[in-house]
A and B are shown apart, each in its own frame.
Chain A
């Protein structure tokens, strides 16, 4: 340490060469490898017990059609959980985004062009979701309320707003078929491959880049790991947490729009039923409930495990009554596995 003056002066140094080591790779990616193992294990069981279903492409197209609706939201939720936060209000944001969509659509009748009105309404939905996310973040950051508690409140608040604004009425969205947005968001490539799957892949890649290759992602990890250290070292923990809540709101509204476009119908209860499977995807994927660790890949695999169980239970010959039991079993076992793997890192 006595030669510390050298390190202050910038000098040309040997570049650090990353040598690939299998043991190091498996150590630093153990959570992802673990859940990948569970995924392939389950898949193998499905193929063996129901080869008629799982060796044909139809079931996979069906999965790719339904899983993205909640998997898209699981990606920003992963970031929030890594930052040590939680959001329970995103199912209500899904519906609230669609209310913004419908109100904007009604307010723009003078424009006449349906595709234009749908496009404006789509943007309004995304803006609405982002603003609700901002408000969630504001309540959490400015008042210092734990996000779990704050978003229990806002979850009721926005569901209530949806019911008031829609007067509890549901309705068809058949006009969106006239818009280019319908095939772009929920169309089928070649008549089989669902567009929403492509959106999920795109959002997952962008989410991965943000989390692993961008300053914001680096700060998300640091905040969840040790918020005090992050603050002492000058990380703007408030801004980063608010940005993460905004991203959650934005993608919840996006998921709300594609879910509604897919069925071409709006229900004021939109989003109910997505809360637990989205959260389960995040925790199944190995994201720690204590913050500081977690991966996008893990979450996407988690979402696919959650999404496949329901149909698979029936396909392998069990009655639908078994699904919840199997859900629970896989979630509990996977979370135990992750905790065990995490302890061995120390």
Chain B
């Protein structure tokens, strides 16, 4: 299986703090990888390196087998990486269409916006994908007035609109209702069916176990271990997670 994405010996330190240490990580073609780890284990830092937000202190990043230097956010998005961030990365005082196209505004070569097209696309995405049928929500609505689930819907649809190859979901179920969570888990399965790859991070082991092909456990900035979900039971995984959190060791 070819790797869509590979990290080789990636380390990241913030001043004195070593957040990640010699991380080796692979994401295969059409694979869903669940990333588990306690708070502060380094999951978000790892994600932000893949999305180009942080630059690794050392190590290599490869996309489709090609080494990429100086990865930046626009570069990562060009390579087909879309992210649904834990903090959602929305601009709440702005309208829905501005949020959908945040950082990727449709514009002509002089930088003038194609507002009509962005509104039309937003309207289409809303009715077809987000399932927003309420007339109160239209492309001109302010995102700050939306519910938690609606905001998450905006963040997800935004990730999908731009023909993503790799979709990263960082704690996407946070603050969602049970129904919205079920919808989200279905959505992650949909990524698999569409032939795309995804990295799914969640504090809820059950959600991750149910959708991931492989689970990578991160602890204290290191890869503590990885399992194919078909080879391990949920109970055994839970047990290992607790042991890792307590001792820093899987067995």
Binding site for B on A (CB under 8 A): 1-8, 13-16, 18, 24, 28, 213-216, 218-219, 221-222, 225-226, 228-236, 292-293, 345-346
Is B102's CB under 8 angstroms from A1's CB?
A: no
CA distance A13 to B117 in the complex (A): 11
Is A292's CB under 8 angstroms from B124's CB?
A: no
Question: What per-residue 1/0 map shows which CB atoms of B107-120 lie under 8 Å from chain A?
Answer: 10001110110011
> Can you show 15 pairs from A to B with CB atoms below 8 A apart?
A1-B187, A2-B187, A3-B129, A4-B160, A7-B157, A8-B163, A13-B124, A16-B139, A215-B107, A221-B94, A222-B94, A229-B87, A229-B90, A234-B104, A346-B144
Chain A residues positioned under 8 Å from B76 (CB to CB): 234
CA distance A7 to B122 in the complex (A): 11
CA distance A293 to B129 in the complex (A): 29
Nearest CB of chain A from residue B41's CB, rounded to whole Å:
20
Is A225's CB under 8 angstroms from B91's CB?
A: yes
Chain A residues positioned under 8 Å from B72 (CB to CB): 234
Closest 10 CB pairs of A and B: A233-B103, A234-B73, A16-B123, A225-B91, A229-B89, A13-B124, A292-B93, A234-B103, A234-B74, A232-B89
Chain A residues positioned under 8 Å from B89 (CB to CB): 226, 228-229, 232-233
Chain B residues positioned under 8 Å from A218 (CB to CB): 98, 105, 113
Query: Among the listed B51, B105, B193, which residue makes an inter-chain contact with A232, where contact means beta carbons less than 8 Å apart?
Result: B51
Knowing A3-B128, A4-B129, A16-B119 are in contact, say whether A214-B186 is a contact too (CB < 8 A): no
CA distance A230 to B94 in the complex (A): 12
Is B103's CB under 8 angstroms from A235's CB?
A: yes
Chain A residues positioned under 8 Å from B102 (CB to CB): 222, 229-230, 233, 235
CA distance A14 to B128 in the complex (A): 12
CA distance A21 to B103 in the complex (A): 29
Binding site for A on B (CB under 8 A): 51-53, 72-74, 76-77, 83, 85, 87-94, 98, 102-105, 107, 111-113, 115-116, 119-125, 128-131, 139-140, 142, 144-145, 153, 156-157, 160-161, 163, 183-184, 186-187, 190-191, 193-194
Q: A226-B91, A231-B73, A234-B74 are in contact. List 12 more A-B contacts (CB 8 A).
A: A1-B187, A13-B121, A14-B124, A15-B120, A213-B112, A213-B113, A222-B102, A225-B92, A225-B94, A228-B87, A234-B76, A292-B93
Query: Among the listed B103, B111, B116, which residue makes an inter-chain contact with A214, where contact means beta carbons less than 8 Å apart?
Result: B111
Query: Among the listed A1, A18, A229, A345, which residue makes an inter-chain contact with B142, where contact means beta carbons less than 8 Å apart?
Result: A345
CA distance A235 to B193 in the complex (A): 31
CA distance A224 to B157 in the complex (A): 23
Is B144's CB under 8 angstroms from A24's CB?
A: no
Is B77's CB under 8 angstroms from A234's CB?
A: yes
- Most chain A beta-carbon neighbours within 10 Å: one of B90, B93, B187: B93
Is B190's CB under 8 angstroms from A1's CB?
A: yes
CA distance A226 to B131 in the complex (A): 26
Is B53's CB under 8 angstroms from A232's CB?
A: yes
Is A292's CB under 8 angstroms from B91's CB?
A: yes
Is A216's CB under 8 angstroms from B111's CB?
A: yes
Nearest CB of chain B from residue A229's CB, rounded to whole Å:
4
CA distance A216 to B112 in the complex (A): 9
Is B187's CB under 8 angstroms from A4's CB?
A: yes
CA distance A100 to B183 in the complex (A): 63
Is A1's CB under 8 angstroms from B98's CB?
A: no
Knowing A218-B98, A222-B91 are in contact, say whether A2-B186 is a contact too (CB < 8 A): yes
Knowing A4-B160, A7-B128, A225-B92 are in contact, say whether A231-B53 is a contact too (CB < 8 A): yes
Nearest CB of chain A from residue B148's CB, rounded to whole Å:
15
Nearest CB of chain A from residue B156's CB, rounded to whole Å:
8
Knowing A221-B98, A229-B87 are in contact, say whether A24-B140 is a contact too (CB < 8 A): yes
Is B120's CB under 8 angstroms from A7's CB?
A: no
- Most chain B beta-carbon neighbours within 10 Å: one of A218, A221, A230, A345: A218
CA distance A226 to B103 in the complex (A): 12
Chain B residues positioned under 8 Å from A7 (CB to CB): 124-125, 128-129, 157, 160-161
Nearest CB of chain B from residue A226's CB, rounded to whole Å:
5
Knowing A8-B194, A221-B91, A225-B92 are in contact, say whether A233-B73 is a contact too (CB < 8 A): yes
Chain A residues positioned under 8 Å from B113 (CB to CB): 213-215, 218
Nearest CB of chain A from residue B161's CB, rounded to whole Å:
7
Chain A residues positioned under 8 Å from B128 (CB to CB): 3, 6-7
Q: Select from chain A the residue with minimum beta-carbon distance to B183.
A: A1
CA distance A4 to B196 in the complex (A): 12
- Most chain B beta-carbon neighbours within 10 Å: one of A13, A225, A231, A233: A233
Chain B residues positioned under 8 Å from A18 (CB to CB): 119
CA distance A155 to B76 in the complex (A): 40
Is B107's CB under 8 angstroms from A1's CB?
A: no
Chain A residues positioned under 8 Å from B191 (CB to CB): 4
Knowing A221-B94, A346-B145 are in contact, say whether A2-B190 is a contact too (CB < 8 A): yes
Is B112's CB under 8 angstroms from A214's CB?
A: yes
Is B112's CB under 8 angstroms from A4's CB?
A: no
CA distance A18 to B123 in the complex (A): 10
CA distance A229 to B151 in the complex (A): 13
Is A5's CB under 8 angstroms from B120's CB?
A: no
